[in-house]
Amino acid sequence: MARGEKKKRNAKLFVWLAVAAAALAVLMFVFLMASAGRRAPEGIVTPAWTEKIPFDVFTVVIAVLVVMCVTAGANLALETAPDRQAIHEIGLHAVSE
């Protein structure tokens, strides 16, 4: 198979995959909006435990968790990097120390 034909076939495949993913995302969003907050026995909308937490406290907790995950990922990447000297040369030494 020629290189140009393979690119064209892959481009068509990616377009169909993108369309299918977008359609699936819309369907999942509709389902989520229809079922959000509903509990099984009554079928009425009732608040969960997350709605009882003040939003500013919830935001700070989520932000701290995100920063911890990013920091852990950066440290793991720096510790497993094949050439630590190159990392220091490009200025990431403050993170790796």
Q: What is the pLDDT of residues 46-88, one digit of tens each?
A: 777 878 889 999 999 999 999 999 999 888 877 776 666 666 6
Q: What is the pLDDT of residue 96?
A: 47
Whether 46 and 39 have beta carbons less than 8 Å apart is answered as yes
| C-alpha span between 72 and 68 (Å, rounded) | 6
* Over residues 11-21, mean pLDDT: 92
| pTM higher than 0.85 | no
- CA angle centred on 37, ends 31 and 42, rounded to 5°: 105
Q: What is the pLDDT of residue 12?
A: 87
State the average pLDDT for the chain. 82
Q: What is the pLDDT of residue 23?
A: 98
Q: What is the pLDDT of residue 81?
A: 62
Q: What is the pLDDT of residue 76?
A: 82
Whether 28 and 20 have beta carbons less than 8 Å apart is answered as no
Paired strand residues for 45:
38
| C-alpha span between 79 and 96 (Å, rounded) | 8
Place of tokens 């990447």: 77
